[in-house]
Amino acid sequence: MGCELRNRVEAVEPYRIDAQGMHHRQLNETIRAALSAGYREIILDNVNGQRYIGAGISTPAYIEINGVPGNDLAVFMNGPTIRVHGNGQDGIANTMNSGTVIVDGSAGDVLGYGMRGGRLFVRGDVGYRVGIHMKEYREQVPVLVVGGRAGAFCGEYMAGGVLVVLGLDRLPGQPLTGDYLATGMHGGVIYLRGRVAEHLLGKEVQMFDLNDQDWKLLGGLLDEFGNYFGVDAAELKKDQYTKLLPVSHRPYGRLYVS
Amino acid sequence: MRSLLPPEYIVRIDQDRCRRCGRCVRNCGFGALSFEHSFWHRAKELFQGSTEDLQKVIAHVEEYVPDRVVADNRKCVQCHYCVTHCPEGAINIEPNPLAYKANHYWLPHYQKNIVKQAESGGMILTGSGNDKPYFSYFDHLVLDACQVTNPSIDPLREPMELRTYLGSRPKALEIEQDSDGEPVLKTKLTPQVKLEIPIVFAAMSYGAISLNAQKALAMAAKECGVLMNTGEGGMHRDLYPYADHIIGQVASGRFGVNPEYLERAAMLEIKIGQGAKPGIGGHLPGEKVDEEVSRTRMIPVGSDALSPAPHHDIYSIEDLAQLISALKEATAYTKPVGVKIAAVHNVAAIASGIARAGADVIYIDGFRGGTGATPMIIRDHVGIPIELALAAVDDRLRQEGIRNQVSLIAAGGIRHSGDVAKAIALGADAVAIGTAALIAMGCHVCQQCFSGNCSWGIATQRPELTRHLNPEEAGQRLANLLRGWALELKEILGSLGINAIESLRGSRLRLRGVGLSEQDLEILGVKPAGR
Ligand code: SF4
Ligand code: SF4
C-alpha cells in the first residue's frame, strides 16, 4: 500500500538521507534542499528525535521516516504525505493545513493542535489533549484517527473536523479515553468505537447514535485505516460506534454582562 | 428582571438648533437616539377615510408632539459620535449628576457594577484599557537636556536618526578579508525588520476591529515605514499589499494561521499574554463572525472563536522554544520571531527564559494595555506597570549578558512621544501603541469595544457602522500622528545633545525621578531629580 501512496506524487527516484547524529536544523535544511532540487520522494533513515520534520512544507512530496521523529512533526505542513515506520512524539500535525501523516506505532500528546486540514492516522495509542482545537473551514476538514486509546482532554475545544478513537488492542477494563473527553467542544464530530462512561464526557457534548451519513464518512475512514495498517476494516465496521456532538456551538455564551 | 440602573449620561438636544436632519439617529451604534414622530405621522396612520377615524385623529391632537429627536439616556455610552458629527452643534451629553449619591468610597462605578451583577449574575465585560487611578511612573519621570557644557543639536538642521531594527544581534561581529584584502562580514546575521520610527501598532485583530480600521493601520504603517500587527484573526486579503509592514500573530486559537500567512508576514509574533488580560484567553462571539471574518479566521460563519488561555503546546520555556523553532523552520529562518507577554510579577525571569528560548523580539505589555473585550476585574486588577516591568527586564537581560539576543518592545499606556522617549531610555528598542492609534482614528475611549456597536466604525463589524471609518482618511490621521511624534522625538534627542535614538536606548542617566520612593528609583534604575 506504500506503493499506492508513492504513485500520488511525481515519480522521480527517492532521495535518501541518513539522519544519524544530525541536528534538526541540518536535517530540515537538507530536506528543503532536496525538495527544491526537484525530489518528490524522500526517505529518512535512523531518525532519532529530530524535530519539526516537514515544518511548513508546501511542496507535494512523500516523506518516509524510519525511526522516531521528534516533536512537531508536520507542523504547519501543507500538502506532503509523511509515513512514519516507528512511533511518533508530541505535537504531530500541529496547525497543519493539509497533507497526510501516518504513524505505524503510538504517538504522544497534543496531536493535531489547531489542525485545520489534512489527515493524521496513528495505529497505536496517543497521549493527552489530542485533537485539541481542531477546526474546519469550508472544504478544509481535518481528520484524526487513533487506532488505540487516547489520554485525557481528547478533543478539547474542538471547533471542527473529525476525530476517531478506535481503542484497538485494549487490555480488559481499560477505558477508550481519559476523562474530560471533548470538554469545551463547540464544532466538528467525534466517533468512538463502543461507548465511554458518561462521567468521562465534558459537559458541552452528548452521545448520539450514528446515522447513514455518519456511516458513510466513518466507513471511508475505517477503510483507509485498514489499508494503511493492514487491519480488516470489514471487521471494524461490525462494531458499535458512538458519535459525540457539541450540544451548542456557543458553550461560553451568557457568561458576561456589560 | 426590571433594571434599576440609572442612566449614566443625559443627552440634551437643543431643539431650537436641531434641524431634524436625522444624522445622529442614523449613526448612533447604540441606538440611543430616535425620532419622536409628530402628530401628522400618527394622523396618517389613523385616518383610513371614515368619520370614526377622524374622531381618533382629533383625540390625538391633544397629544400633539412636534417632530423631534429624543434620546434614550440609558443607551448612551458617551462615545460622542453624534456630538462630533451634528451639523448644528445641537447635542450635548452630560454625566447624570443624580445617578448615585456622592460617596468617596462607594464610587458610582462600584455601585453600578454591583447593580449590574445583581441583575444578571454575570462577569462584567469591558473593552479598552485599565482606567483606574493607579500611580503613573511615566508622569514621575523627566528627561534631561543639555545646557552650556555640552551643546544641544538643532534637529531642523542636523540629521537625526530614529531608524530602529528589530531582531536578534550577535554578541560581536567577526570580519575577515577576501582575496582582494577587502573586509567582509563573517558573522551570519539573523533576520531583522526595519522601523523608520521606533513605534509599531499594537495587535488588533480583524474581528475585534473592522477591516477599515485594519486597512488604515496598514496604510499608515507602510507610509511611515513601521509595522502593524494582524492580531490573532488572520490576514485579510485586502492587507496583502501591505504585508511587508505587517507582523503576523500566532495565538493560542491559531486562527488564520497557515503556511501562506507565515510566509507573507514581515515578522511573526507568538502571543502568550496581553496587558489588559494576563492569563486570559480570547473569545470572539459568534455574532461578530460574519462572512469576511470567517474567511480570514478560517472558521465557519457565526461560530464562537475561542482562543484558549494558554497555548496547549506551551507549558514551559522548552515548549515555547519549540514553537519558536517550529515557526523558524516553517519559514526557513527568514524572519524574526517575537513573543508577546503581559507584564506580571516575575516578568524579568520570564523574559530571560524567552530570550533563551530563541525569541528575537520580546513584546512586554503593561497593565494599562487595551483590549477588545475582557472581564473588567482582570483588566483593572491584574498585571504591573510597563515602566517597572521594562526596567526590570532590561536589567535582567543585561546582567545575564543576553540583552543583545532580543529587541524589546514596550507597550501598555503610551500616550505621547514623551512616554516613547522615556520607555526607550528605560531600555525599550521600540514601543507599541494601540489605544493612541484608535484615538487618532476617532475613538473616544468609551470602552464599549466588546459590544460590536462602535459608532466610530472601529470596534464593529456592522456594515452601516464600519462605513463611518474611511480607511484613507483614518490612515492619514495615523500617519500624521506618527509624523508629529517623530518630530517631537527628534526635538527631544536634540535637546539631549544626541543625534540617534540608539544613543538614548537604555540610557537611564538621562532620566530623573520626581516624587518617587527610593525603592521605585532603584527598580527603575534612575536617580532622583536634583542628584
Ligand atoms: S444630527 Fe444634530 S441637527 Fe441632525 S437631527 Fe441630530 S441633533 Fe438634529
Ligand atoms: S474603539 Fe469604539 S467602542 Fe472602543 S472605545 Fe473607541 S469609540 Fe468606544
Mean pLDDT (whole number) for B356-380: 96
pLDDT class for B458, splitting at 50, 70, 90? very high
Q: Write out pLDDT tens, residues A234-248.
A: 999 999 999 999 987
Question: Given this model, what pLDDT does residue A6 score?
Answer: 44
Q: Write out pLDDT tens, residues B168-191.
A: 999 999 999 999 999 999 999 999
Using DSSP bridges, classify how beta strands A78-85 and A62-68 pair: parallel, antiparallel or unpaired: parallel
Mean pLDDT (whole number) for B342-357: 97
Mean pLDDT (whole number) for B279-290: 82
pTM: 0.92
CATH class of B9-96: alpha beta
| Better pLDDT: B162 or B59 | B162
pLDDT class for B38, splitting at 50, 70, 90? low
CB-nearest to B300 from A56, A72, A137 is A137
How distant, in Å, are the alpha carbons of B64, B79, B375, B446, B501 from that of B126? 41, 14, 6, 10, 36
Question: Given this model, what pLDDT does residue A249 score?
Answer: 58
Which is the closest atom of ligand 1 to the Cα of B20? 5
Cβ distance B322 to A51 less than 8 Å, yes or no, reads yes
Question: Given this model, what pLDDT does residue B308 score?
Answer: 84
Question: Given this model, what pLDDT does residue B54 score?
Answer: 81
Segment among B55-64, B103-112, B160-169 with least mean pLDDT: B55-64
Q: Write out pLDDT tens, residues A34-82.
A: 999 999 999 999 999 999 999 999 999 999 999 999 999 999 999 999 9
Question: Is residue A11 predicted with pLDDT exceeding 80?
Answer: no
In this structure, CATH architecture of domain B201-500: Alpha-Beta Barrel (3.20)
Q: In what order do the strands lie in the sheet with B141-143?
A: B141-143, B511-513, B527-528
ipTM for the whole complex: 0.88
A84 bridge partner residues: A65, A103
Residue B226: count other Cβ atoms within 10 Å of its Cβ.
27
CB-nearest to A72 from B252, B299, B326 is B326
Segment among A75-89, B146-160, B330-344, B465-479 with least mean pLDDT: B146-160
Question: Given this model, what pLDDT does residue B68 score?
Answer: 87
Percent of chain B with pLDDT over 90: 81
**Cell triple for B436:** 493612541
Contacts of B234 in chain A (CB under 8 A): none
Mean pLDDT (whole number) for B364-377: 95
Question: Given this model, what pLDDT does residue B124 score?
Answer: 93
Q: Please tell me if the CB atom of residue B19 comes closer than 6 angstroms to any atom of ligand 1.
A: yes
Cα torsion angle, B154, B156, B160, B166, sign: positive
Contacts of B124 in chain A (CB under 8 A): 256-258
Q: What chain B residue is nearest to A77 in terms of C-alpha separation?
A: B259
Percent of chain B with pLDDT over 70: 98
Using DSSP bridges, classify how beta strands B407-411 and B361-365 pair: parallel, antiparallel or unpaired: parallel
Tell me whether B285 touches chain A (CB under 8 Å): yes
Domain residue limits, chain B = 9-96, 201-500
Q: Write out pLDDT tens, residues A70-101.
A: 999 999 999 999 999 999 999 999 999 999 99
Give the best-scoring range by mean pLDDT among B34-48, B268-282, B338-352: B338-352
Helix, strand or coil, per DSSP, at residue A181? strand
A103 bridge partner residues: A84, A122
**Distance, CA B89 to ligand 1 centroid (Å)?**
8
Mean pLDDT (whole number) for B241-253: 95
Using DSSP bridges, classify how beta strands B407-411 and B430-433 pair: parallel, antiparallel or unpaired: parallel
Mean pLDDT (whole number) for B194-216: 97
**Cell triple for B322:** 519549540
**Distance, CA B69 to ligand 1 centroid (Å)?**
7
Half-sphere exposure of residue B19: CA atoms within 13 angstroms, side-chain side:
5
Question: Is residue B113 predicted with pLDDT exceeding 50?
Answer: yes
Question: Given this model, what pLDDT does residue A5 score?
Answer: 40
Question: Given this model, what pLDDT does residue A162 score?
Answer: 97
Question: Given this model, what pLDDT does residue B267 score?
Answer: 98
Which is the closest atom of ligand 1 to the Cα of B88? 3
What stretch of H or E contains B33?
strand B33-36
Asked if B322 contacts A51 with a C-beta cutoff of 8 angstroms, the reply is yes
Residues in B 296-355 with any Cβ partner in A closer than 8 A: 298-300, 302-304, 306, 308, 312-313, 322, 325-327, 329-332
Cβ-proximal residues to A104 (8 Å cutoff; 6+ apart), any chain: A83, A84, A85, A86, A87, A123, A229
**Cell triple for B309:** 488561555
Contacts of B299 in chain A (CB under 8 A): 135-137, 159-160, 187
**Distance, CA A30 to ligand 1 centroid (Å)?**
68
Residue A200: count other Cβ atoms within 10 Å of its Cβ.
18
Place of cell 471487521: A235
Question: Given this model, what pLDDT does residue B99 score?
Answer: 84
Question: Is residue B41 predicted with pLDDT exceeding 50?
Answer: yes
Domains assigned to chain A: 1-62 (no CATH), 87-256 (2.160.20.60)
Question: Given this model, what pLDDT does residue A253 score?
Answer: 60
The secondary structure of B264-301 as a DSSP string is: HSSEEEEE---TTSTT--EEE-GGG--HHHHHHHTS-T
**Cell triple for A64:** 518516509
What region, left, alpha or beta, does residue B22 occupy, with left being phi > 0 and alpha being psi -120 to 50 degrees? Answer: left
Residues B156, A235: Cα–Cα separation, whole Å: 83
The secondary structure of A90-156 as a DSSP string is: TTTTTT--EEEEEESS---SSTTTT--SSEEEESS---SSTTTT---BTTB--EEEESS-B-TTTTT
Tell me the one-letter amino acid at B509.
Answer: L
Question: Is residue A3 predicted with pLDDT exceeding 60?
Answer: no
